[in-house]
Amino acid sequence: MGSANFAYSRKSAALLGNAQVSGAYTIKTGRTADGQVIDSSVEIVDPAADFAMTLPDGTYIGQTVLVTFTSDANTKDCTLTVTHHQAVDAGSEPLDAVDEHMLFMWKGTEWVTLDYSTAGDIA
């Protein structure tokens, strides 16, 4: 099976979804531990306290994940840590205001930032 067919099969077998979070969270990328669930987007909604989020390695080349801060009634922050990123391994990024976002793509060994509205070390 060619790599393109594998990626298509992998995406078809997984449940793609949107997660809404307000506290500590590990983004689901389709790993065994995720039960074949893949978060294609993650919305940060009204966190009650500052918290951490982790983006582990992807599971197929071309996989994308959008993380966006949609509501922040309590003016709290999220620190997003990316386990492998092209700019810096285990880099982190603060998201602390409504409409801040980061869009990532997995290129097989690390995440690449495609678009962002923040200013940390992986932007």
Mean pLDDT of 9-28: 80
> What integer pLDDT is reported at residue 41 of this predicted model?
95
Tell which CATH classification among 3.10.620, 3.30.450, 1.10.3470, 2.60.120 matches the domain 3-116: 2.60.120
pLDDT reading at 121 higher than 70 = no
Q: List CB contacts of 2: < 8 A, sequence separation 6 or more.
A: none
Residue 2 or residue 40, greater confidence: 40
Mean pLDDT of 50-61: 96
Residues 91 and 102: beta-carbon distance below 8 Å? no
In angstroms, the CA 117 to CA 49 distance is 22
Domain boundaries, the chain: 3-116
Average pLDDT, the chain: 86
Residue position matching structure tokens 């391994």: 89
Band (93; pLDDT cuts 50, 70, 90): confident
* Dihedral angle, C-alpha 26, 115, 118, 54, nearest 10 °: 10
In angstroms, the CA 68 to CA 92 distance is 15
Judged by average pLDDT, the poorest of 5-14, 28-37, 87-96 is 5-14
Band (120; pLDDT cuts 50, 70, 90): low
> What integer pLDDT is reported at residue 89 of this predicted model?
73
Sign of CA dihedral 79, 84, 85, 90: positive
Band (6; pLDDT cuts 50, 70, 90): very low
Sign of CA dihedral 79, 85, 87, 89: positive
In angstroms, the CA 62 to CA 107 distance is 6
Band (14; pLDDT cuts 50, 70, 90): low
